[in-house]
Structure 1
Amino acid sequence: MAAAGTGVSGNGTSRLTIETNGLSKRFGHQLAVDGIDLAVPQGSVFGFLGPNGSGKTTTIRMLLGLAAASAGTVNVLGLEMPQRLDEVLPRVGALVEGPAFYPFLSGAANLHRLDAASRHAAPATRKARVKSALERVGLAHAAGKRVHAYSLGMKQRLGIANALLSPRELLVLDEPTNGLDPQGTREVRSLVRSLAADGATVFVSSHLLAEVEQICTHAAIMSVGRLVAQGTLSELRQAGQARIRLLTPDAGTAFDVLVQLGMTPVAGTPAPAGDVVTAVAAGPKEAAAPEEIVARLVEAGVRVRGFSVERESLEDRFVALTGEGFDVAQ
C-alpha cells in the first residue's frame, strides 16, 4: 500500500496485521484523525511517529476498539474492528496511555487480578504465566513489592508484563520506554526484538527517534491528524532530498552539468584542492545515480577530486514532513 502523500510504499506483498482505509475521528469541529490509510506488515516492528497532538493515541484507541471511528474501516489480524472485537482482542496485548495498577498490591498480585478479569485466560496456568511475564520484563526481583513503591520505569515494565500474560500475535505499545533509565530502555529494546523474532507484530508509538531507529523495521509519520509517510526505514530516508558534495577546481562547468541533471547547485566554498560545490535533488526520482553524475562531470572536462552523496536522516525527514523537531533519547 502506498504511503499517504509521499509515494513511499511499504511491503505490498506482505500480509498486513493492521490495515485502515480512510480512518477518521472527529471531536466536534476538530478532525483529530483525517482519513489515514495505515498498512502494518505482519512480523514487523512498526514505529508510529509524530509530535504530541498529531493523532497517534486516538488512532491506537480506534485500532483497539476503545474509540469509535467517525469514518473509514479498521482491520486487525485480518478481522474487521470493532465488529470482531471479541475475536481480535484475546490475540492482542496492549499498553496504552501508561499503565494503571492497584498501588497497595504487589506487582504479581496486580497481574493475577488482571489475568483473572479475562474470560479467555486459563486459571490453571495463571501462576506460571505471571511468573514468566515478570521474568521477561526484568521484574522477578520485585514481584512481591507493592506497586506504590515502584518507579515510573518499573510500572511501565509491569504494564508490558500484563500485555504478555498470554501469547500475542500483536503487541501495541504506546511510548514503551517512557520513564525508563538507560538499562531499562535497553531491556525493553531487547524484549521488543525478541517478541518480533518469535513472530509477533509489534506496533510502537513513540516520539523518540533513537528508539525508533534502533528497534523498528517500518514506520509511519503522523502530522496534524494526517499520515504523511510510511514504509521501511530505508524507504523513508531514501524518499528525502539527495545532496551531493563535489570537490573540483572547475566549479563553473560543474554548475552547468548539475543543472542539466536536474539538480540545484549551491555556490562553492574555497578548499585547498578547488571549490566544494553542493547540489540538491528533490527526491530519488529526480536524482541521477551517483555514477551517472560523475560520468557526466568527467565528460564535460570537470576534474573531480572528491565526490559524496548524502541522504536525509530519519530526523531530517520528520522535520521536513511535520515542521517540528524530534525529542532524541539521551
Structure 2
Amino acid sequence: MTAVSSPDPFRWRCSRPPPPSDHDTVTAATPAPDLAIESRGLTKRFGEQIAVNKIDLAVPRGAVFGFLGPNGSGKTTSIRMLLGLTQASSGQISVLGQSMPDSLHAVLPRVGALVEGPAFYPFLSGAANLRRLDTADRNAPSSTRGARVEQALARVGLTHAAGKKVAAYSLGMKQRLGIANALLQPRELLVLDEPTNGLDPQGTREVRSLVRSLAAEGTTVFVSSHLLAEVEQMCTHAAVMSGGNLVAQGTLADLRHVGQTRVRVRTPDAAAAAAVLTGLGLAPVHSDVPEQDPWVAAPLPREMSVDLTGQPESIVTALVAGGVRVRGFLIEESSLEERFVALTGEGFDVLQ
C-alpha cells in the first residue's frame, strides 16, 4: 500500500508503518487544539507480539468518529491506551488537549466511556447500579444524583426497567445501561466500544439517534465497531485498523469515495455511446446484459460501465450531443465495505 502523506490530519490517508524498534519510548505529545484525540506512533507489545503498531490517530472535536476493524485488529487495546487503562509501550497520546497519561485525573472526568462491555451488580436494579457508580465518582455532585440517573436512563430508553434487577436484563439492556452510566454527567468526549452489541434493530436505532444528538450538542463521540452499516449511518469520520496497523483514516466521505467510481449508461445505441465515451478519454466496458430479453418484445438496451474522470452532467451532455439515446444513467461509488477489503484484503461483518 502506497503511503499518502499530508500535513492535514482530516485528509484521507492510508499507510502501513514500519515495525516498532526496541528503543521506542512513551513521550509527551504536543496537543493540537482542534483534535479531541491525537496519537503519534502509539504502540503496544505483549512480549514478542505487537498488538498495536505505531498508529497516528487524529479525531476532530465534534466528530462522530468510527474506529473500524475486525475483532482482534487492535481497536480495544488502542482505546485502553488512549484512556490510560493500560500502559503504552511507546508513542504519544493527547486527549482533549492534554497529554496522557500524565493528565489522567484532569481528563477522565470529562470523558464518558463504555469499554469491553458493561459490568454491573446483578442483584441491584439498573437505577441502583447507576447511583452506586455515581457515588464512586468523586467529581459527581450528590445533590443532583437522582435527577441525573433518571435523565440518563431516559436517554437510553430504560425508564421502564429502572427498578428491575440487572440479572433480568437482556444483553442489549445491559449495553444501554452501560451507555447511561457514561452519560451520568456532561461529557466532552464519549468513547463507545461496540455500543450496538446485542441490541435489536429498535435498540440499534435508538443508540444511533442518541449518538447523533450528543454530537449535535457538541460532544465528540468515538465509536469502535466492526459493523460497517452502523458506522456508515452515524459517523462523520473513520479510521480502519488491520492487524494492529492503522491503514486509513479521514472523513467518511473521503474514505468511501477514494477508489474507483463508475457510471453506467443504459442505451440502445451501445456502439455510438462507446465512441462518445472513448472520445471523452474514458474506457467503456460492455456488461454481460443480453441484447434480447425473452419476456420483452423490444430490444433490451445494453449497459456499459466506464471510469468516471469528469462531471457526470458533462458525460450525459456529450452522449446526447452525439445522438445517443440515454435511457438510464447511474453513478456507482465504492462502498465502505469495498474500501475495507481493498485496504486489508480481509472480510468484514456487515449488519443486515
Query: What interval of TM-score do these two structures reach, taking the shorter chain for normalisation?
Result: 0.7 to 0.9
Q: 1:259 to 1:233 in 2, by over 3 A?
A: farther
The answer to whether the 8 Å contact 1:259/1:265 transfers is: no
Q: Which amino acid aligns with 1:129?
A: R
The answer to whether the 8 Å contact 2:276/2:319 transfers is: no
Q: Which amino acid aligns with 1:5?
A: C
Question: What CA distance in whole angstroms lies between the structure 2 residues aligned with 1:259 and 1:72?
Answer: 52
Q: How far 1:303 sits from its partner (Å)? A: 3.5
The answer to whether the 8 Å contact 2:282/2:306 transfers is: no
1:16 matched to 2:35: yes
The answer to whether the 8 Å contact 1:18/1:76 transfers is: yes
The answer to whether the 8 Å contact 2:12/2:254 transfers is: no
Equivalent residue number for residue 281 of structure 2: 261
Q: How far 1:98 sits from its partner (Å)? A: 0.2
Question: What CA distance in whole angstroms lies between the structure 2 residues aligned with 1:155 and 1:250?
Answer: 58
Question: What CA distance in whole angstroms lies between the structure 1 residues aligned with 2:272 and 2:45?
Answer: 55
- 1:114 pairs, out of 117, 133, 139, with 133
Equivalent residue number for residue 279 of structure 1: 306
Equivalent residue number for residue 49 of structure 1: 68
Q: 1:107 to 1:273 in 2, by over 3 A?
A: closer
Unaligned residue ranges in structure 2 (runs of 5+): 1-8, 16-31, 292-298
Q: 1:293 to 1:100 in 2, by over 3 A?
A: same
- 2:195 pairs, out of 176, 184, 190, with 176
The answer to whether the 8 Å contact 1:101/1:147 transfers is: yes
Q: How far 1:159 sits from its partner (Å)? A: 0.5
Equivalent residue number for residue 89 of structure 1: 108
Q: Give the paired residue count.
A: 318
Q: Which amino acid aligns with 2:348?
A: F
- 2:14 pairs, out of 5, 22, 27, with 5
Unaligned residue ranges in structure 1 (runs of 5+): 7-12, 282-286
Per the normalisation by structure 2, the TM-score is: 0.81
Equivalent residue number for residue 229 of structure 1: 248
Q: How far 1:69 sits from its partner (Å)? A: 1.6
- Residue 99 of structure 1 aligns to a residue whose secondary structure is coil
Q: Deviations for 1:87-143, whole angstroms, at most 9, x for unmatched residues?
A: 110000000000001111111221122112121111222222212211221212222
Q: Which amino acid aligns with 2:262?
A: R
Question: What CA distance in whole angstroms lies between the structure 2 residues aligned with 1:297 and 1:95?
Answer: 54
The answer to whether the 8 Å contact 2:14/2:249 transfers is: no
Q: How far 1:294 sits from its partner (Å)? A: 5.2
Q: 1:192 to 1:43 in 2, by over 3 A?
A: same
Equivalent residue number for residue 289 of structure 1: 311
Q: How does 1:99-110 map to 2 (within 5 A)?
A: 99-110=118-129
The answer to whether the 8 Å contact 2:265/2:330 transfers is: yes
The answer to whether the 8 Å contact 2:52/2:77 transfers is: yes
1:315 matched to 2:330: no
Q: 1:259 to 1:61 in 2, by over 3 A?
A: farther
Q: 1:252 to 1:323 in 2, by over 3 A?
A: farther
Q: How far 1:308 sits from its partner (Å)? A: 3.1
The answer to whether the 8 Å contact 1:15/1:42 transfers is: yes
Q: 1:122 to 1:239 in 2, by over 3 A?
A: same
The answer to whether the 8 Å contact 2:74/2:243 transfers is: yes
1:133 matched to 2:152: yes
Q: How far 1:297 sits from its partner (Å)? A: 6.4
- Residue 75 of structure 1 aligns to a residue whose secondary structure is strand
Q: 1:244 to 1:178 in 2, by over 3 A?
A: same
Structure in which a larger fraction of residues adopt strand: 1
Q: How does 1:167-246 map to 2 (within 5 A)?
A: 167-246=186-265
Q: Which amino acid aligns with 1:329?
A: L
Task: Give the RMSD, CA atoms, in angstroms.
Answer: 2.6
Greater Cα offset, 161-170 or 130-139: 130-139
Question: What CA distance in whole angstroms lies between the structure 2 residues aligned with 1:216 and 1:230?
Answer: 12
Q: How far 1:264 sits from its partner (Å)? A: 7.3
- Residue 26 of structure 1 aligns to a residue whose secondary structure is strand
Per the normalisation by structure 1, the TM-score is: 0.86
Percent of paired sites with the same residue: 66
Q: How does 1:63-82 map to 2 (within 5 A)?
A: 63-82=82-101
Q: Deviations for 1:187-230, whole angstroms, at most 9, x for unmatched residues?
A: 21221111111110111111112211221122111111122222
Equivalent residue number for residue 170 of structure 2: 151
